[in-house]
Amino acid sequence: MAGLAEAYDAVITEAAMKITRIGSQPTTRPSEEYFTGIVRLDAPFKGTGNARIGGATVTFEPGARTAWHTHPLGQTLLVLSGLGRVQHEGSPIEEVRPGDIVWFEPDEKHWHGAAPDCAMSHVAIAEAQDGRSVDWLEKVTDAEYGG
């Protein structure tokens, strides 16, 4: 049995688990070309090797939002705090709250952001296809945002 335990220990020590500590990466601001208002990106993450997963924690100040966009393999949002808005093309705006999980289908045109009077933070997760995880489109107008 000692051989099995040693083999198990060898596998554990060869594993490449990675812990990214909060505050170990600077907060950044995404391009104004793709966002309206004040938006902060924290703790971006990306898989290694053949992994296609990536994402970040995103905080939108009141009224801030993404431009319309799509994801070739879809996107998941995990709402952490505040009050947000999400919409996919052709549907009404939906409010989202902490604990809500939003799934956008592959190539589904959508946007997301904060409510007019309340900030919102979420974790955004998407997979890359052929090195691309998002296709940015036109900005959401004030009229579209207002519903």
How does pLDDT run across 65-85, given as a tens digit for each residue? 999 999 999 999 999 999 999
More confident call, 136 vs 49: 136
Of 141, 143, 67, nearest to 110 by C-alpha is: 67
Mean pLDDT rounded to a whole number for the chain: 91
Continuous segment of H or E residues that includes residue 9: helix 2-14
| Stated pTM of the model | 0.86
pLDDT for 14 equals 54
pLDDT for 50 equals 87
**3-state secondary structure (DSSP) of residue 136:** strand
pLDDT for 3 equals 56
The rounded distance, in Å, linking the Cα atoms of 72 and 130 is 9
pLDDT for 41 equals 95
User: Average pLDDT of 94-100?
Assistant: 98
